[in-house]
């Protein structure tokens, strides 16, 4: 059964319906792309024009002055990008490793209390992010004394429940017969995980890596809370230094935002194949 009628024999109705759908999708695409376009145009436009809040769709001239200003404004501009890269890569790698291990345990291993423990993890997903920040801050600063360190930026995101849930759901679809055959060949659990589970889970691991990297790279609140020096700020927090009480360096800020968005574009397009497979795998299953 089709999702909607083909209107066979009524071409005018079909044309009208397709025109409405096309127009709606086009407007949605333009609304989605426009903030990115505005960011790029503002970064490449004249800083004076942007500083005067003279908004225009097409700038009068293109220049790289805003990018130069961004890197020369603070001695820590490169350090902000490096900090974001270190934190995002560490969080992404740790999530892929630990979430895949936990997903394998919850989906394929049998142990007492498995369902209860997994239920507790699911319940923890319902706690708002902001609620956990104050006790987490007290734990990091007063108990472990890790304020203003890479460990404080990385440890809270070392593995997320969402990624464990994602890995568990995908690995549950791997036939148990394959694992039983491997056991009969003499493989232990670690060998099964490394030689069978991980190769068959490349799609979900790629999706997990993209989503985790984007989330960690764009995080603003926790780095702002746990760092107290410009040296340890990430790029997202560092951009706030271009804003003052009475003015804002809009063009350099947009240049920094464009630079900060570049790694995500590179990661997404390099893993686009796996990401699209991960989106459709649930739709075609069964």
Q: Is the dihedral of CA 93, 97, 100, 102 positive or negative?
A: negative
User: How far is residue 154's CA from residue 86's CA, in Å, rounded to a whole number?
Assistant: 9
Please tell me the pTM assigned to this model: 0.82
Residue among 217, 218, 237 at smallest CA distance from 228: 237
Q: How far apart are CA 230 and CA 165, in angstroms?
A: 36
Helix (H, G, I), strand (E, B) or coil at 248: strand
For the chain, list the domains and their CATH numbers: 11-64 (no CATH), 75-241 (1.10.3720.10)
Instruction: Write out the chain's pLDDT in tens, 286 residues.
Output: 455 666 666 778 888 888 999 999 999 999 999 988 888 888 887 776 655 556 667 777 788 888 888 888 888 999 999 999 999 999 999 999 999 999 999 999 999 999 999 999 999 888 888 888 889 999 999 999 999 999 999 999 999 999 999 999 999 988 999 888 988 988 899 999 999 999 999 888 988 998 899 899 999 999 999 999 999 999 999 998 888 777 778 888 888 889 888 888 888 788 777 767 665 555 444 4
Distance separating alpha carbons of residues 15 and 52, to the nearest angstrom: 46
Give the separation between CA 167 and CA 209, rounded to whole angstroms.
Answer: 12
Question: CA separation (Å) from 79 to 75, 171, 177?
Answer: 8, 39, 50
């Amino acid at each position: 059964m089709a999702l909607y009628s083909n209107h066979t024999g009524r071409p005018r109705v079909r044309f009208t319906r397709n025109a409405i759908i096309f127009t709606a999708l086009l407007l949605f695409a333009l609304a989605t792309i426009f903030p990115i376009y505005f960011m790029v145009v503002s970064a490449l436009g004249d800083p004076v024009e942007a500083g005067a809040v003279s908004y225009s769709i097409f700038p009068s001239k293109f220049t790289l002055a805003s990018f130069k200003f961004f890197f020369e404004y603070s001695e820590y501009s490169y350090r902000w990008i490096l900090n974001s890269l270190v934190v995002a890569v560490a969080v992404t790698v740790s999530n892929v490793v630990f979430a895949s291990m936990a997903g394998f345990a919850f989906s394929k291993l049998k142990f007492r209390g498995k369902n209860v423990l997994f239920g507790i993890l699911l319940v923890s997903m319902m706690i708002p992010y902001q609620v956990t920040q104050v006790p987490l801050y007290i734990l990091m600063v007063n108990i472990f004394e890790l304020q203003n360190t890479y460990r404080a930026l990385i440890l809270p995101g070392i593995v997320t429940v969402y990624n464990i849930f994602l890995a568990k759901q995908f690995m549950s679809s791997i036939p148990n017969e394959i694992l039983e055959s491997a056991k009969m060949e003499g493989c232990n659990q670690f060998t099964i995980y490394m030689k069978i589970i991980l190769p068959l889970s490349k799609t979900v691991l790629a999706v997990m890596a993209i989503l985790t990297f984007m989330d960690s790279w764009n995080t603003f609140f926790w780095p702002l809370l746990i760092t107290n020096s410009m040296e340890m700020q990430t790029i997202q927090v560092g951009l706030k230094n271009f804003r003052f009480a009475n003015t804002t360096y809009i063009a350099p800020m947009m240049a920094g935002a464009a630079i900060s968005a570049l790694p995500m574009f590179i990661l997404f397009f390099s893993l686009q194949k796996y990401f699209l497979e991960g989106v459709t795998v649930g739709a075609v299953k069964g």
